[in-house]
Each structure stands twice: as C-alpha cells, then as structure tokens.
Amino acid sequence: MSMLKAEDVVVRLGGNLVVDGATFDLKAGELAVLIGPNGAGKTTLVRALAGLIPAEGRIAIENRSLASFAPRERARRIAYLPQGHAFHWPMTVAAVVALGRHPHGDVFSGLTEADRAAVGRALLATGTAPFAARSVTTLSGGERARVALARALASEAPILIADEPTVSLDPRHQLVVMELLARIAHDGAAVLAIVHDLALAARFADRVLLMDRGRLDAQGPAREVLTPERIAAVFGVEAEIIDSGVGPIPILHRPVESPPRPAQ
Amino acid sequence: MQAKNLHLIVGLIAIIVALAILSLMVGPAALSPRAALAGLFDGEGVAGIIVRSIRLPRTLLALLIGATFGLAGAALQGLLRNPLAEPALFGAPQAASVGASFVIAYGLAGATSFAVPLAGIAGALLSIGGLVAISGRRASLTVTLLAGLALASFAGAATALILNLAPTPYAALEIAFWLLGSLEDRSIDHLIIATPFFLASWLLLALNARAFRALTLGEDAAASLGVDIDRTRIAVVIGVALGVGAAVAVAGSIGFVGLVAPHLVRRRVGSDPARVCLPAALMGAALLLAADVAVRLIPVNPNATTIELKLGVVTALIGVPFFLAMIFRERQLLAGAPS
C-alpha cells in the first residue's frame, strides 16, 4: 500500500530552488534510505514531506493530500526525527520519550496505559531503558541520539522519517539503529531515513534514493543505484563495489582529482 | 513524580494561605489573627472595614499579580526554551508604564485612580498590536524577540521622556514612585478592572502548556508532534501581555517575580516546562504576598516622602538571595545543560 507519495515536489527557500521536482512512492513495509552530498536538499525534502515547510507539487499520505491533515492528525501518521537531537530542558529520558505520545493526548490528559506501553516498547527497542530515569542533559552524544529515536518511535506512527539517525553513534549502535529501522519497516511501517554512510545505506535499504543538487537522480535497489560511476559523479569519490557476505558494499578510495562541479 | 508534584502544590497553597492571613493582620493598625479573620467574615466594626475594604483587595491583588508574573515567566521560558526569559521581554509592562505615567504626569488622575490602570492596560494592548504589526503573524522567534526588544526600548524611552517633560517636580516624583511598584491604597475596583485580564491571560497560557513540553525538542520536532508553532507563539505573547500589562497597570513595575518563581520550583517538577506552570504561579503569588507583607513591616523614616517601601524594591531584595542560593546549589547541573 502506498503510504507516502511525492509527485513533482518543489521547495523554494528564500527564493532558492532547493528541491527540484522529487517524485517517489514509499510503500508500507519498506525502508528507503535517502543519500546525497551536503547541500543536496535532503533535509529540506524530508521537512516538506513531514509537513513542516510548504511545498509545491503533491504530497499524499495513504492517498490523501498531506495539506488536508490537521497538525495533530498528521502527527499521528508521521513520526519525524530531526537532525541534531536537541533537548532544551534537563528532563528525564522517560519524560522525553513520552513526548512522542503528544499527538495522541489532548490539552489536559495525562499518559494513558497505552501511552505508557508504547513508551516502554520504544525504550526497550532503542536500548535506552537502563537510563530511563536519568536527565537527558547528562547523556553522551550516542545515548542522546538513541533517546531521540526512541521519542520518534514512541508515537508508533505508520510512517517514520528520520534525518541522520545514525550520526554520532559508534559502529555497534549504528548497526543497532539500522537493524531497528529495518525491523520497524518489515513490521509494516514505511521508513525514510537520511544516512551519510553509503555502506550502511547499501546494506540496509530496500530502496536507495540518491539526491543531488535538488533532484532525485536515481532510485532503486542499492545494487542498481550505487555504481562506481554514480558515486564518482555525485559524491566526487572514487569507489568500488565489493560483494560481501552481507551484500554489495561500496569501498571509498579517494576523492576524484577534479571535483564533479565547482564548489558553491 | 506525580505525588511529589502534588506535595509541592499543597505546600505552596499552605504557605499562600498563611501569608494571606498575615497580610490581613499587618498594617498601621495591627490586628490579631482572630480579629483579622472575624473582620473578614462578619465585616463588622473597625476591623471589618480595615480588613474588607483595605487589606483584602490588597491581598487578593498581590496573589493574582504574583501568580500572573510567575505563570507568565514560566510560559515565556517554556516558549523560548530559555531560563532567562522574563515577562518584560516583549515590552508589555514597559508599554503599560508609558500609559500610566502619561496619565499621572498630566494630572489627568492621581496615582491610585482608575484612569491609571485603564491607561496602562491600553498601553499593553497597543504593544501587542505593535508587536504583531512589526513582526508579522508568521514571524520567527528571533524576529519576534527583536521586535519586542525594540518596543520595550521605545516604551522605556517614552516613559523617560514623560518623566523628563513632567509639568511639575511633584508629578515627576509621583511617576518615579509609581514606577517602583506598590499595592498601597488599591481598592476593590482595581481588582475588578484587572481580574478579567488576569483570567484571560491564565487561560491562554494554560491552554499552551503542553506545547511548551513538546518545544523542549526544538521547533521542528514540536511541529512534527502536531504543535501549531505560530499559533502557540502568538497566544503566549498575547497571554503574557494581557496579564502582565494589567498587573503593571494596577501595581506599577514589579520585577523579578516572573524570572525567579519558575526557577524556584523547576527542579521539583523534573524541569518539565508544562508541569512547572502551576507551581510557578503559586510561587509567584507567595513571593509577591511575602513582599507586600514585608513592605508593611519594614519601618521607614516617617519624614520620608513615601510611607512604605516600594514593592518592586522589596521583590528584588527578597528574590535575589533565593535566586543566588539556587544558583549556587545548581551550579554543577546548569554547567552541564545545553545553552
């Protein structure tokens, strides 16, 4: 079933064309990984998909226009994990993760049993339960990243959009998080994650979306999208693809001599 | 957590009740607790007149104004995700001061008549209109803050100008004392004028308390959780201006309560920016009530031009030691918090 559909999505920020006609269709049960060099427009695209900034073109959730959703209704369909993992007050991990239940309550309601259960599942899934009672401001960067993910998971929305969920994680926790995203997808959610590590993208993505200078250049299975030619053209890196036991893994050798385009 | 929160609220209410009774007892004619309560409930005799028509309005105003400042401070700190935010940030109290000073300067009314609060409230309402007109309805927080800063500075300059051009030295002195804040000689009518604004302010801010909690994750994450950021921002700016503008219009400038009250209770509620609102309001009420009792107890030179110490002076004098104690206690914790 089509969960999140984009047709010719165009986003302008301050007069600049940042996203130039993105089209794709994300299905339930699918983990899509959005890759692309810095400044390609990945974050802008996912913010538009999450309904946080206005966009031209058509974005639909479950075949219904995104614009027709009230904010809280939309929030129950799409969980969004922004970059940076900001926590402004020294609240406990459990209290922060419970914020994921915000779209399910109303002005005066506290947490219901269902809310508590969802928070508990999110804490367990991300391995953050052991420090649930600690203040978020005392955590390491990696712990904070997992708490932020737990917050997004706690809403148990059918669509999860995560902007760099593996950033600042050690190798083990990068794998833990990617496995978790894959499991959520295979349990029926539609997951779209921005990831910079091409090896992680190749290994876990059901579909890779390659973005460059505002355009979705290619999409499909990693084996088809991540070719040495494309990696050289888009990222400016000489690469080879090795068929390993866990699938095709790009090995990055060195920056290509002449960059693919003048620096902006 | 919930039980701790309840203990805090019950404790604060007990303190407020005790301070309120004290406030009914204290003044030029001291009353015993029994006489004060008898005067309050049967209203008979001299004690009845003193308690019902002089000390009760004053006590209630201190409660309502203190609560409004505490809640407004908690709401702004929640909206801006910054523990330094305080109710004067968007210029509403300064604008209220301009309106009130103008009325006093030109002899349109004495410092305790109704024209003063009405002019003050008009000033605060104008400042809201000005803020929205300057920054636009979908302004970013930074633009709103800058617009507020500009308005606050402009209003401060306008008050200084009125002082500067005051027709007589007496008018200038009256404004200067009014600006220091006082609840002396405020009547039940002041209470009636200001209370609707306080209630509207509390309602607007309370309805947005949950949004403050979501905003701890930043604006993007809060918006993705279904918070309408633009609407929240404008509701809080208006809510704070209504409450604080009316408070300043009735009582003059009273600083510090709005900044300090949320800090004194924040740790007890796990730094939750929604749950801090009610205790911060109660703490604000207790602080202002304590200050207003103190101004009546602290002896002042009878030959001085003013009979009581001014409330704004005492709130800062009482508030700063609390605040310093808290800073020393929390220094370690604050050092680890993100800026």
The size of the A-B interface in CB pairs under 8 A is: 90
Across chain B, mean pLDDT equals: 87
Closest chain A residue by Cα to residue B330: A90
Domain that holds residue B259: 2-336
* ipTM value: 0.90
User: From CA B20, how far away is CA B15, in angstroms rounded?
Assistant: 8
Query: Does residue A139 form part of some domain?
Result: yes
A123 near A132, Cβ under 8 Å? yes
* Mean local confidence (pLDDT), B194-200: 95
Domain that holds residue A132: 87-157
pLDDT at B112: 58
Query: Does residue A153 form part of some domain?
Result: yes
Query: Does residue A256 form part of some domain?
Result: no
| Residues 6+ positions from B86 with CB-CB distance below 8 Å | B73, B76, B258, B259
Please judge whether B272 and A95 are an interchain contact, meaning their C-beta atoms are less than 8 angstroms apart.
Answer: yes
Query: Does residue A130 form part of some domain?
Result: yes
The alpha-carbon gap from A216 to the nearest alpha carbon of chain B, in Å, equals 24
- Phi, psi at residue B142, to the nearest 5°? -60, -45
Query: Does residue A147 form part of some domain?
Result: yes
Q: pLDDT per residue over B75-124, tens digit each?
A: 999 998 888 888 888 888 999 999 989 988 887 766 556 788 888 888 98
B149 near B94, Cβ under 8 Å? no
User: From CA B151, how far away is CA A111, in angstroms rounded?
Assistant: 41
Predicted structure pTM score: 0.89
| Residues 6+ positions from B157 with CB-CB distance below 8 Å | none
Closest chain A residue by Cα to residue B82: A88
User: From CA B126, how far away is CA B108, in angstroms rounded?
Assistant: 20
Number of structural domains (chain B) is 1
B151 near B124, Cβ under 8 Å? no
Q: Residues of chain A whose C-beta is under 8 A from some C-beta in B?
A: 47, 50-52, 70-76, 78-82, 84, 86-92, 95-96, 99-100, 102-103, 105, 107, 135, 137-138, 148, 151, 155
Please judge whether B218 and A74 are an interchain contact, meaning their C-beta atoms are less than 8 angstroms apart.
Answer: no
Closest partner CB to A86 (pick from B217, B270, B336):
B217
* Rg, chain B, Cα only: 20
Q: pLDDT per residue over B236-281, tens digit each?
A: 989 999 999 999 989 988 888 998 899 989 988 989 999 999 999 9
Number of structural domains (chain A) is 1
Find the range with the poorest average confidence among A97-106, A224-233, B302-311: B302-311
Q: pLDDT per residue over A174-194, tens digit each?
A: 999 999 999 999 999 999 999
Checking if the pLDDT of B339 tops 50, the result is no
3-class secondary structure, B174: helix
| CATH code of the domain covering residue B141 | 1.10.3470.10
Task: Pinpoint the alpha helices (H) of B50-91.
Answer: 56-80
